[in-house]
Amino acid sequence: MALGLVFITAGLFILLFAVGVVPGAEQSLEAPRWVGVCAGLVFALCGVALIIGFAVAGGAAPDGDLPAGTPFGLRLTQYLIGLAISGSMAAIFSWVAFGPGPRHFSVTVSFAGRSAASETMGRIAFGIGATLMYVFVAVLGVVGLRRLRNRK
């Protein structure tokens, strides 16, 4: 419960910063506001999922699903939260890869230290990551729907 509240608080702060409620946000944003909103949602929804999964439903079963007997409404809520988190992350990766404006990337290698990476290589890496995230969202959607149907 406590960890879930920490995540929710962090997510809400990011959301408030992204929409301009926190003073000074206008000067420090390098991304569109919707990217910040997606980032805030990822944290806040992770906190909600933690609270529902562990404080309300009682943890995970050995197969990684919610325990047997968990009400359908809680299962549906967790499913939708998972899709929203994954979709938000995919949207962020997509903006980094394909959005307008310059990007600055660096690479850290344990034996060589930190060095700058080209914008093209960084965008390619995030493009691959975005593609994988969308595949993950699709797989999560299908597997989640199957689990929902089987647990009714």
**Which residues of the chain fall short of a pLDDT of 50?**
none
**What pTM was computed for the model?**
0.86
d(CA 50, CA 70): 15
Look at residue 109 in the predicted model and tell me its pLDDT: 78
Distance set, CA 86 to CA 58, 68, 89, 116 (Å):
23, 25, 5, 28
- 55 Cβ contact partners less than 8 Å away, ≥ 6 residues apart: 1, 4
Q: What are the boundaries of each domain within the chain?
A: 2-151
Look at residue 67 in the predicted model and tell me its pLDDT: 84
The predicted-structure confidence for 111-150, as pLDDT tens digits, reads as follows 767 777 889 999 999 999 999 999 999 999 999 999 888 8
Q: Is 69 left (phi over 0), alpha (psi -120 to 50) or beta?
A: left
Look at residue 7 in the predicted model and tell me its pLDDT: 97
